[in-house]
Structure 1
Amino acid sequence: MSCRCLSPLCLVFLFGLADAAPGQPPRPDLSPWSEQNARWAEEVGRLEALDREQEDPEGAVLLIGSSSIRLWETAAEDLAPYPVIRRGYGGAQFSDLAHYAQRLIEPHDFRAAVVFVANDITGGPADKTPEEVGELFGYVAEVLRWREPDAPIICCDVRPAPLRFGAWREIQQGNAALRAECEKRPGVYYLDTADAFLRDGGAAARDDLYGPDRLHLSRSGYELWGELIKAELDRVLADRGDRAGTPSAAGEGSSHPTDR
């Protein structure tokens, strides 16, 4: 093919194809968020350095997402006996998680995955539509499924937080889109935790479960969140015949779709 026929549009298309190995799900159009996605390159690089430095525990649960994952230093304790791999970065949105999904997910063997991202709808002018949130999560779920076809995936809802409670109605619409994407896919589960973080009949978020910034969880908030996630892990893994703390087939020599 002559180089003269490669228009800029053709080049974008060809490089997009080069991003995906055979069998990988097609990446959605992320161009509206390209500048934002580039800002996370250094942070994702630090997480990739952890992949080189640390050996993953056998039969682990992969935790990916935003600052609630990054700051969850007691995750291994709170989710015991499930071992964990924690790969979160502060401020994550589904648009950048989708952009970096293959790099964050591909290095790991995991028994189950938990996804939590809370920054796409916050009440600001740059908020995504619920449809955009759903589509982007759907792609992340497909990458997880490509990497570990038999591992259950848990998508946590965006919890009500005191700082963003003014946008709770819009956040609920985003949650509904996440739930709908989960319901399309066998083995992908939506975890609704909202009631546990609400007070006064749903009129406000519980301040006692959040730190001074009224956005990030306190220790008691993490304990509660961990209990809810662990209960869901118990449930979905029991459906597969797995027992808590027992490595599954995903942790026992599972093969990578591209024979890594």
Structure 2
Amino acid sequence: MKFKFLLIIALVFSANVFAQETAKPKLAYPFEDEINVFKHQDSIAMPKPGGILFIGSSSIRKWTELPKHFPNKPIIMRGVGGSKIEQWVKYYMPLVVYPYKPSKIFIYVGDNDIAAGSGAQAVYDNFVQMLGMIREHLPNTKVYFMSMKLSPSRARYYNEVALGDMMITAYIKTQKNVEYIDVNTTLLTPKSLPDSVLFQKDMLHLNLTGYEHWEKVIAPYL
């Protein structure tokens, strides 16, 4: 009986050790695993300087058809999960922005911050900081801020999203080499509500038709 008890203890201990050894290492910062994928891709084939860089959250990451629809444009897609603008400012800029030395940067960020509890002011402050970082490290790069979209699943945040866009738009008007692109209006019905037909089932991310609407808006800026 004693032998069986000791055997069970040994098996439990071994299982715990194995679980600890095989557990994924703790990430140093949010979405580090996705950033490492970009680093690996770049180690194999680094994009040439002067490309057109798209950065932001999953709305960029899921925009997989964009490079295919503009094959003659040197588009670099660097969307990161459900990332927030504060994370881009704090972690990602040196890792997935500066190294590419892009001629243009298209930015889609902010609505995840607001949905997580940050207000329009925080999104605005982070954008001002992000733009300053770009100006310091990439002074000749043209910047385009894509408006935060109104998603049906986030109706409670519409006012805060609209306020954030308004604040950022006003700031951009005072700056050089940066433009605001309204990619939200193209997703609205005649009643100025998000058209659910353009969204996936989660009513948060765009479907292919929704992205086609976006592509028509951004095409002149590419």
Give the TM-score taking structure 1 as reference length.
0.69
What is the CA-CA distance between 1:38 and the residue it aligns to? 2.5
Do the aligned residues in 1 keep the contact of 2:143 with 2:177 (CA within 8 Å)?
yes
Q: Does the aligned pair in 2 maintain the 1:37–1:99 contact within 8 Å?
A: no
Letter matched to residue 105 of structure 1: V
Aligned twin of 2:138: 148
Q: Which residue of 1 aligns with 2:113?
A: 120
Could you tell me which runs of 5 or more consecutive residues in structure 1 were left unpaired when the two chains were aligned: 1-35, 234-260
Greater per-residue helix proportion = 2
Q: Letter of the aligned partner of 1:172 in structure 2?
A: A
Counterpart for residue 166 of structure 1 = 156
Cα distance, 1:88–1:78 mapped onto 2, change above 3 Å: same
* Residue among 227, 234, 244 paired with 2:216: 227
Aligned to 1:86: 77
- 1:189 and 2:179 are equivalent in the alignment: yes
For 1:140 and 1:78, how far apart are their aligned partners in 2?
Answer: 28
Change (3 A) 1:198 1:162: same
Q: Which moved more, 1:164-173 or 1:76-85?
A: 76-85
Aligned partners of 1:45, 1:221: CA distance in 2, in Å? 29
What's the secondary structure of 2:99's corresponding residue?
coil
**Residue in 2 aligned with 1:49?**
40
> Is 1:191–1:232's contact at 8 Å kept on the other side of the alignment?
no
The SS at the match of 1:39 is coil
Unpaired stretches in structure 2, ≥5 consecutive residues: 1-26
How far apart are 1:91 and its partner, in Å?
0.6
> Aligned partners of 1:165, 1:231: CA distance in 2, in Å?
30
Query: Superposed, which structure 2 residues align to 1:54-69 within 5 Å?
Result: 54-57=45-48, 59-69=50-60
Q: Assess if the C-alpha contact under 8 Å between 1:105 and 1:147 holds in 2.
A: no
SS at match of 1:85: strand
Using the alignment, how far apart are the partners of 1:135 and 1:102 within structure 2? 19
Letter in 1 for 2:179: Y
**2:194 aligned to 205, 213, 229, which one?**
205
Q: What do the CA deviations read for 1:183-207 (whole angstroms, capped 9, x no partner)? A: 23201111112221111421x2111
What is the rounded CA distance, in whole Å, between the counterparts of 1:57 and 1:77 in structure 2?
18
Identity %: 25
Give the counterpart of 2:96 among 83, 104, 117: 104
Is 1:138 paired with 2:128?
A: yes
Question: Counterpart of 1:256?
Answer: none
Q: Secondary structure at the match of 1:90?
A: coil
**Pairing 1:22-41 to 2, within 5 Å after superposition:** 38-41=29-32
Counterparts of 1:182 and 1:37, CA distance in 2: 33
Larger gyration radius, structure 1 or structure 2: 2
Measure, in 1, the Cα distance between the counterparts of 2:107 and 2:220.
15
